[in-house]
């Protein structure tokens, strides 16, 4: 089978890589209002920190997640708001991120909810201190508390499953053994008594 491919080169315009400025491709008038509506209605929390870790902007999504209006957090240092066990690590990460333009950091931190409980937030920060439109470290945080709770329950269930247990249902000729019983007795699973002769 023979074929031919015919065509001619075309110019796609200037090529850019990395963090090229974006334009409003929606054609919607009032692009700033459009983006403000997106930020105000997003479930993820947007936070901007200065180089010392003080909050200069806080989206209102924080109210849904932590029960606190965002404007009450502006001016406060983020490390003063997190769980005491997370403060040192977070302070170090913010410092590292602030020193390198464009640096990114991913951290799970615990923040206090207005009801006194702790919420786990997966937070991705990016140093945009040199970008005059942001002039800070942009952090996007997502509530992962429920995910952590379920993972903890799964780990507990897995640990319990490793314990030896047996069950003998009335009327059955032999008990049912878990693999854990075999490990405890130092036997192969196939060598466990099947007739109840124990």
129-143 pLDDT tens trace: 999 999 999 999 999
Same domain, yes or no, for 54 and 93? yes
The answer, yes or no, to whether residue 118 has pLDDT greater than 90, is: yes
Cβ–Cβ < 8 Å for 27, 18: no
By CB neighbour count within 10 A (0-12 exposed, 13-18 middle, 19+ buried), where does 10 fall?
exposed
| Model pTM score | 0.63
Same domain, yes or no, for 124 and 163? no
> What domain range includes position 183?
151-191
> What are the start-end ranges of the E strands in the chain?
45-49, 55-58, 104-112, 118-128, 136-143, 166-167, 176-177
Average pLDDT, the chain: 79
pLDDT per residue as tens digits for the range 144-174: 999 889 888 887 887 776 667 677 777 777 7
Asked, for residue 75, whether it belongs to a domain, the answer is yes
């Amino acid at each position: 089978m023979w074929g031919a491919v015919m065509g001619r080169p075309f110019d796609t315009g200037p090529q850019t890589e990395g963090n090229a400025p974006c334009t409003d491709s929606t054609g919607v008038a009032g692009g700033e209002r459009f983006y403000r509506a997106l930020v105000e209605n997003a479930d993820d929390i947007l936070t901007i920190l200065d180089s010392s870790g003080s909050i200069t902007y806080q989206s209102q999504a924080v109210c849904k997640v932590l029960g606190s209006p965002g404007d009450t957090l502006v001016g406060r240092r983020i490390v003063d708001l997190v769980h005491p066990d997370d403060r040192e690590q977070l302070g170090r990460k913010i410092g590292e991120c602030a020193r390198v333009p464009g640096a990114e950091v991913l951290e799970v931190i615990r923040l206090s909810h207005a009801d006194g409980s702790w919420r786990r937030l997966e937070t991705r920060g990016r140093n945009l201190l040199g970008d005059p439109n942001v002039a800070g470290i942009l952090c996007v945080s997502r509530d992962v508390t429920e995910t952590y709770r379920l993972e903890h329950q799964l780990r507990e269930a897995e640990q319990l499953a490793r314990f030896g247990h047996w069950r003998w249902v009335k009327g059955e000729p032999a008990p049912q053994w878990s693999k854990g019983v075999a490990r405890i007795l130092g036997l192969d699973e196939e060598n466990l008594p099947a007739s109840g002769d124990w």
